Amino acid sequence: MMNQKTNILILSANWRADLVRAFQKALARRGGGKVIAADMSALSAALFAGDEYEVVPALNSPGFIDHLLGICTRRDISAIIPSIDKDLPVLAAATERLMAAGIRPVVSDPDAIGICDDKLRTYQYFVERRFPTPTSWLPSEFFASEPRPDWPILIKPRRGIGGKGVHRINSAEELDFWLKRVPDPILQEFLPGIEYSFDTLSDFNGKALSVVPRERLYVRDGEVFKARTVLNEQFIELVASVAEALGLRGPAVIQGILDGQGDLKLTEINPRFGSGILLAIAAGADQAFDLVRLVQGEAVQPSLGQFTDGLYMLRHYDAFFATAEQLPK
């Protein structure tokens, strides 16, 4: 095993103390190193979990990448791990510059991120590659359909996050109501089955290394609180092929739902760690550990299907406490 101290920066860490701790444990197994938690708000819980912290400007601030490079140089950072969707295009656009400075941004390329960021483009990609997916329409396409699709359907923003703006539509009157309130919407076939998320990890050449399906038992505001692992080889093979076809690098969450016949239909891709990653790690697919190995230059072999089946996750709230003097500056 390589004995190599490696420092990692988690960007937009916010409340992801769980992710910070997962990488602290992974680094401890790989020779040590520090996790630096960075966020634009001093009131971010993850800053208290990090070995060190940085309060940074907003992502769209002038000179943000210059500021980030300064932090990485000062902290001897080997890799930057994004936490939210807004991080992704910023890091992807700066990949060449960061890599030239010896810093690995753990992010897919801009084309892949552009597809994942737009639910219409994601749908079109699935269709073009013949991956199973629920039928989707722009509103104009829906109204032009003959015959008109049956109710219910879903409406969602093309670039929404966290399940915000997603509504079940049961009638033309409801559709008219929500079309006036959901920005830049897409309509989608409603499927009645179980919802799944698939925590994936790919190497920096786009090879799928790990896929862990989890049944979403309870989700609040897009965050999973109760879930269980499901060892389904057919699902794993399908999702791995999606990740490789798109050339994803690093972590991603691919989502899907079962139709009335029990077949999986894929709905969206989030090319970053999801809120349920701790379940994959606890089940034996330690994607944080494997990502550290990749950052350290080790060739990691695929371990598809190597995790504990039927493991449940029951997340709960926790808290840090600080006086005004103790808050990060």
Binned at pLDDT 50, 70 and 90, residue 3 comes out as low
Compute CA distances 79 → 68, 210, 242, 294, whole Å.
12, 20, 25, 10
pLDDT of 1 strictly over 60: no
Binned at pLDDT 50, 70 and 90, residue 164 comes out as confident
Identify whether 230 is part of a domain.
yes
Look up the CATH number of the domain holding residue 20. 3.40.50.20
Q: What is the pLDDT of residues 176-185, one digit of tens each?
A: 999 999 999 9
Same domain, 162 and 231: no
pLDDT of 202 strictly over 70: yes
Same domain, 173 and 201: no
Average pLDDT over residues 71-92: 96
pLDDT of 154 strictly over 90: yes
Average pLDDT over residues 286-291: 98
Same domain, 204 and 305: yes
pLDDT for residue 191: 96
Binned at pLDDT 50, 70 and 90, residue 329 comes out as confident
pLDDT for residue 2: 53
- Percent of the chain scored above 70 by pLDDT? 99
Same domain, 179 and 202: no
Same domain, 269 and 296: yes
Identify whether 14 is part of a domain.
yes
Identify whether 166 is part of a domain.
yes
Average pLDDT over residues 6-19: 96
Given a contact cutoff of 8 angstroms between Cβ atoms, the answer to whether 9 and 101 are in contact is: no
pLDDT of 226 strictly over 50: yes
71-85, 210-224, 225-239: which has the minimum mean pLDDT? 210-224
pLDDT for residue 255: 97
pLDDT for residue 30: 94
pLDDT of 108 strictly over 50: yes
Average pLDDT over residues 251-260: 96
Same domain, 172 and 211: no
Same domain, 148 and 72: no
Given a contact cutoff of 8 angstroms between Cβ atoms, the answer to whether 166 and 156 are in contact is: yes
Domain ranges, residue 172: 135-189
pTM higher than 0.85: yes
Question: Phi, psi (5° rounding) for residue 281?
Answer: -65, -45
Compute CA distances 45 → 79, 251, 297, 318, whole Å.
21, 22, 31, 10
pLDDT of 12 strictly over 90: yes
Same domain, 90 and 177: no
Same domain, 240 and 139: no
Q: Which residue has the tokens 């925590």?
A: 199
> Whole-angstrom Cα distance, residue 261 to residue 270?
26
Q: Write down the mean pLDDT value for the chain.
A: 95
Same domain, 162 and 202: no
Residues in the chain: 329
Same domain, 22 and 47: yes
Secondary structure in 3-state letters for 115-153 = HHHCHHHHHHHHHHCCCCCCCEECHHHHHHCCCCCCCCE
Identify whether 121 is part of a domain.
no
Average pLDDT over residues 82-107: 96
Domain end call among 173, 189, 205:
189
Identify whether 125 is part of a domain.
no
Q: What is the pLDDT of residues 294-304, one digit of tens each?
A: 999 999 999 99
Binned at pLDDT 50, 70 and 90, residue 160 comes out as confident
Identify whether 247 is part of a domain.
yes
One-letter amino acid identity for 52?
E
pLDDT for residue 4: 78
pLDDT for residue 201: 98
Same domain, 147 and 213: no
Q: What's the domain count of the chain? A: 3
Look up the CATH number of the domain holding residue 253. 3.30.470.20
Identify whether 321 is part of a domain.
no
* 8, 11, 161, 59: CA torsion to nearest 10: -150
